[in-house]
Amino acid sequence: MAAGAPAERALPAAPGGASEPGAAGGDAAATPVAAGARGAAAEGPAPDDPLDAVAAQAAACRRCRLCETRQSVVFGEGPRRPRLMVIGEAPGAEEDASGRPFIGAAGQLLTRMLLAIGLAREDVYIANVVKCRPPGNRDPGPDEVAACRPYLDEQIRLLDPELLLLLGAPALKTVLQTTRGITAMRGQVLRTPDGRPALPTFHPSYVLRYPEARRAVWDDLRLAAATLGLTVPPRPA
């Protein structure tokens, strides 16, 4: 975590003139949470921990229309100094109901993927580009991604992971600021605009739908392991 980071740090305003987080809705006391929060509002003293402070702002967020249909703000979860940060797309139904990222079928596959390179899920920070579920699991809109982006940027800055694992096209495009597709970009350690190593790979939901993508993901995981200096598992036959 960045030394000397202020406990309370205003997020940059959302592009397009959206209102500040915490400006609308809610009358409950602030609920700083690591994983998710149901409609909590940012009132009362700000949490001391800077990441908790960002989570509390997100918990009260009304920057885009997803706040109207969400049950939870799925902020993210994991250790405060993770070596690896995984970034997916957006919460699905189970994540929305529970407030935790990646706990459905895609999450179970993600857990197995991480174990394959010797990482327990608890050792990794897991978050999404968009913190609230798009209704019907539609793709998040560009305005929703832009509105949520300051939360992700702050998570990355405060967690300061050695490597970002970008799951699928929305994470690739948002974090690496590219219009190129996941098939072209996966399988290489690239750099974010501020120089952080990032490895794009296919989203576990895609792998569940197209099992032939497993081999590529396996290669990408081996590259992640090598980048982190972990034991690289052999390629399965």
Q: Which of 57, 63, 66, 89 binds ligand URA (CB under 6 A)?
A: 89
Which amino acid is located at 117 in the chain? I
Say whether residue 150 binds ligand URA (CB under 6 A): no
Say whether residue 95 binds ligand URA (CB under 6 A): yes
Among residue numbers 184 through 213, which ones bind ligand URA (CB under 6 A)? 205
Which range touches ligand URA (CB under 6 A), out of 15-23, 40-48, 97-105, 142-150?
97-105
Q: Which of 47, 92, 134, 150 binds ligand URA (CB under 6 A)?
A: 92
Nearer to ligand URA, 30 or 221 (CB): 221
Match 């690289």 to its residue by tokens: 232
Compute the least distance from the CB of residue 81 to ligand URA, in Å.
22
Report the alpha-carbon distance of residue 125 to residue 80 in Å, rounded: 8
Which range touches ligand URA (CB under 6 A), out of 27-35, 57-65, 84-92, 226-234?
84-92
Do 110 and 102 contact (CB within 8 A), yes or no? yes
Say whether residue 182 binds ligand URA (CB under 6 A): no
Nearer to ligand URA, 52 or 95 (CB): 95
Report the alpha-carbon distance of residue 220 to residue 207 in Å, rounded: 13
Say whether residue 91 binds ligand URA (CB under 6 A): yes
Do 59 and 100 contact (CB within 8 A), yes or no? no
Hey, what are 69's tokens?
A: 């249909």
Helix (H, G, I), strand (E, B) or coil at 2: coil
Q: Report residue 184: phi and psi, to 5°.
A: -75, -30
Say whether residue 36 binds ligand URA (CB under 6 A): no
Do 201 and 175 contact (CB within 8 A), yes or no? no
Which range touches ligand URA (CB under 6 A), out of 31-39, 100-108, 175-183, 184-192?
100-108
Report the alpha-carbon distance of residue 151 to residue 213 in Å, rounded: 30
Q: Which of 34, 106, 145, 159 binds ligand URA (CB under 6 A)?
A: 106
Say whether residue 78 binds ligand URA (CB under 6 A): no
Using CB atoms, what's the residue nearest to ligand URA?
A: 88
Residue 143 CB coordination number (10 Å): 15
Say whether residue 128 binds ligand URA (CB under 6 A): yes
Report the alpha-carbon distance of residue 55 to residue 28 in Å, rounded: 15
Helices (H), 39-121: 50-59, 93-98, 105-116
By CB under 6 A, name the binding residues for ligand URA. 88-92, 95, 101-102, 104, 106-107, 128, 205
